[in-house]
Amino acid sequence: MGGENAAVEVFAPARLHLGFLDLEGALGRRYGSLGLAIDRFGTRLTLTRAKRASAEGPAADRARSYLERAAASLGVPPAARVAIEEASPEHAGFGSGTQLGLAVAAALAHLHGLTVATPALAAAIGRGARSGIGIGAFDLGGFIVDGGLKSGAEYPPVTAHLAFPAAWRILLILDHGRSGLHGDAERAAFSALPPFTEALAGRLCRLVLMSLLPGLAEEDFTAVSHTLGEIQSRLGDYFSPAQNGRFSSPAVADALTWLGAQGITGTGQSSWGPTGFALFESAAEATRMAERLSEEPGSRALELQVVAGRNAGAEIAARRAVKEARR
């Protein structure tokens, strides 16, 4: 008995995008970004051989498009069925498009016995051109810094990767009534933003190199919380013309303001939002504060979730087709 891969199961973790470092790129690299893989809101799917390309479940149309693009790039037929069991909320700050696309492309490569690096998979589906956080989350999990996009390069390299402390938790604040900027609106927003000054880029890079990364390495919660809060405040103010304020959702902004009044400093917004977050040193503390926040009148329309960092990348498991010998 023996055979070929008949099905591939993939779980791709969701991620938070915690900010850019230099949008001007005067040193030859543009963007540079921070991110964290989390243990909730991931993408889970199974890809099986089929007579033609098809997809079902959340974001099925998007998945089929990724399947066809990946097949064309990998030089294999798109004859497969994608069954999506779970998908991250779209345009909410979780990297749903990149993780779905990478999951589909990786599954297709494994189905055909191909070994393809994740950056090449990202290029195949047209993702990862601005930020390397999605690629890093898929490959490594944990806390990730990418080094920005060099002219002529297809993707930014991961330049720092640290485990996120196991005891720490993130309170996520979701506003399902809003969507973060994406597509043409996102491109237009980037084009219309004011100059990203050298002073701002310098301050952000110094905060990351001399406070945030050492704080994570030493599990210094106070340093990480204060530093992340400052990074988010500075970036929120920079992006405010494009999103009508420091945060894109007024309800999330009110919730974060309330948390700030309780002494919580490590707060911010993932990507264009609308999802906000707050950092806590323990699950008990995060849960207690989430319960208090949920009682505030302005928070009743929001979803609150306490999550942990995920210090592992995607999970990929192939099942072999078994052919019985004729008797």
Q: Find all residues with CB under 8 Å of 229, minimum gap 6, and list them.
A: 265, 266, 267, 268
Q: Tell me the chain's radius of gyration from C-alpha atoms.
A: 20
Residues 1-13 have pLDDT tens digits of 334 678 999 999 9
Q: Find all residues with CB under 8 Å of 191, minimum gap 6, and list them.
A: none
pTM: 0.93
**Mean of the pLDDT values across residues 108-130?**
91
**Domains along the chain with CATH numbers:** 1-164+309-327 (3.30.230.10), 165-308 (3.30.70.890)
**In angstroms, rounded to a whole number, what is the distance separating the alpha carbons of residues 49 and 124?**
20
Under DSSP, the state recorded for 297 is G
**Mean of the pLDDT values across residues 41-57?**
96
**Mean of the pLDDT values across residues 11-16?**
97
Q: Would you tell me how many other CB atoms lie within 10 Å of the CB of residue 136?
A: 29
Distances (CA, A) of 327 to 14, 274, 321, 324: 48, 61, 19, 9
CA angle 192, 196, 198 (to 5 degrees): 160
The answer, yes or no, to whether residue 101 has pLDDT greater than 70, is yes
**Mean of the pLDDT values across residues 8-36?**
96
**Mean of the pLDDT values across residues 40-48?**
96
Peptide bond into 274 cis (omega under 30): yes
In the prediction, which pLDDT does 194 show?
Answer: 92
In the prediction, which pLDDT does 217 show?
Answer: 98
Q: Would you tell me how many other CB atoms lie within 10 Å of the CB of residue 322?
A: 9
In the prediction, which pLDDT does 219 show?
Answer: 98
**In angstroms, rounded to a whole number, what is the distance separating the alpha carbons of residues 251 and 174?**
9
Residue 321: pLDDT band (50, 70, 90) is low
Closest CA to 141 of 106, 166, 120: 166
